[in-house]
Amino acid sequence: MASELKRKLDYSDLLVTPDDRLRYELIRGELLVTPSPSPTHQRISKRLQRQLEAYFEARSLGEVFNAPIDLILNEQDVFVPDLVVVTDPGHISNRGIESAPVLVVEILSPSTRKRDRGAKARRYAELGVEHYWIVDPERLRLECHRLAGSSFQPLVEAEGETTLEHPSWAGLVVDLAALWR
């Protein structure tokens, strides 16, 4: 039986993936493939993006990007988060975002739920992402985590049709009801 060498993939491998509406990401050189998001997922993403833009961009604190955009934390860790907030313009290149952003948001779907809460969250923390938010459309819930050492710790959360005031950014209030409608 012929043995095959297994190699880790890198960003150059992603550049040759087909344009087939799938998301291709790498964690430690291992390929992750997920289907395109649902319309509900996209509506929530768009609505949260508007709220983040109204805070970060209106105050000239940073820039908000939505998927698909490559978050290249190193050549073998390349993600396509749902939303990214970048406060340092030097982290933005023609390829994508090339350093740990201040905030990454992932919106859970049936195909990504376990990975977003597990492997991706751990790797984002290890690579220095300061804030990680998880939006759970099934539970109408927003969980905000902050980096503490090399892992994320819960900071604040809310669910239903309420508002969430984020303690790290004075005046940042997320209207959850607006996300679900």
- CATH assignment at residue 170: 3.90.1570.10
Task: Write out the residue range of the structural domain in which residue 41 sits.
Answer: 20-180
pLDDT score, position 4 = 53
pLDDT score, position 90 = 97
Count of beta carbons in the 10 Å neighbourhood of residue 181: 9
Domain annotation covers residue 88: yes
Domain annotation covers residue 4: no
Tokens of 93: 């290149």
pLDDT tens-place string over residues 109-134: 998 899 999 999 999 999 999 999 99
pLDDT score, position 7 = 80
Nearest of 131, 161, 165, 136 to residue 148 by alpha carbon: 131
pLDDT tens-place string over residues 89-101: 999 999 999 999 9
pLDDT score, position 19 = 84
The total number of structural domains that make up the chain: 1
Is the pLDDT score of 88 beyond 50?
Answer: yes
